[in-house]
């Protein structure tokens, strides 16, 4: 058992969990900061794959991502460290603040704090979205990436289709479509022959 890796997993996911105000989706950019930028456990592309897979499966996204990354790095002990670190801040805050928030729920200060944090979470999500769009543009090309964004938006917002259905359809498309890199290799082979 690698104690340093487990400690790093715990610290990284605890930090993301304690600062991830707004639940799982709000902590995804924080997970990205820890797993990709700070510790370099996974690449941007791998993080995108983990996020897509996590979104397609039932349950909270934060625990699925933490569990996968923890297991990948340190096996079962890493999985336990990462999930415990992700869940522990919420449990501690729920227990400690439940009575206080209930009594102050109508307070203008508490409502103002909640409203002030919302734009910050939106900016973090937009930044991560842009990063994923740039990544998809490399593999799919600009036109197809924009088309898939528009189709996904129409299906999600216009038809109120569940995100898992859209993700599943796009995963199926990705399995059936030949990746752009392979098409370029085939084209180059044809030109050189």
Per-residue pLDDT 10s for the chain (193 aa) are 588 888 999 999 998 888 776 666 778 888 999 999 999 999 998 998 898 888 888 888 888 999 999 999 999 999 999 999 988 888 887 787 777 777 777 888 878 877 888 888 888 888 888 888 888 888 788 888 889 889 999 999 999 988 888 888 888 888 887 665 555 555 666 666 5
8 Å CB contact between 6 and 81: yes
Cα–Cα distance for residue pair 85/126, rounded to 1 Å: 25
Record the tokens describing residue 165, joined without a space.
């259905």
8 Å CB contact between 29 and 124: yes
8 Å CB contact between 43 and 116: no
CA angle (41, 26, 31) in 5-degree steps = 10
């Amino acid at each position: 058992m690698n104690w340093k890796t487990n400690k790093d997993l715990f610290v990284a996911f605890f930090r993301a969990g304690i600062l991830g105000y707004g639940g799982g989706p709000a902590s995804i950019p924080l997970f990205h900061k820890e797993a990709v930028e700070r510790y370099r456990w996974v690449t941007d592309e791998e993080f995108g794959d983990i996020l897509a897979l996590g979104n397609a499966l039932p349950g909270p996204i934060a625990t699925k991502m933490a569990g996968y990354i923890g297991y990948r790095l340190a096996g079962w002990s890493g999985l336990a460290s990462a999930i415990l670190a992700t869940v522990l801040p919420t449990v501690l805050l729920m227990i400690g603040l439940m009575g206080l928030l209930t009594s102050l729920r109508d307070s203008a200060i508490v409502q103002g704090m909640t409203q002030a944090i919302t734009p910050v979470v939106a900016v973090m999500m937009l930044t991560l979205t842009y990063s994923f769009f740039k990544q998809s543009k490399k593999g799919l090309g600009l036109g197809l990436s924009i088309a898939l964004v528009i189709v996904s938006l129409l299906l999600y917002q216009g038809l109120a289709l569940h995100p898992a259905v859209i993700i599943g359809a796009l995963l199926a498309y990705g399995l059936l479509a030949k990746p752009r890199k392979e098409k370029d290799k085939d084209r180059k082979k044809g030109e050189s022959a």
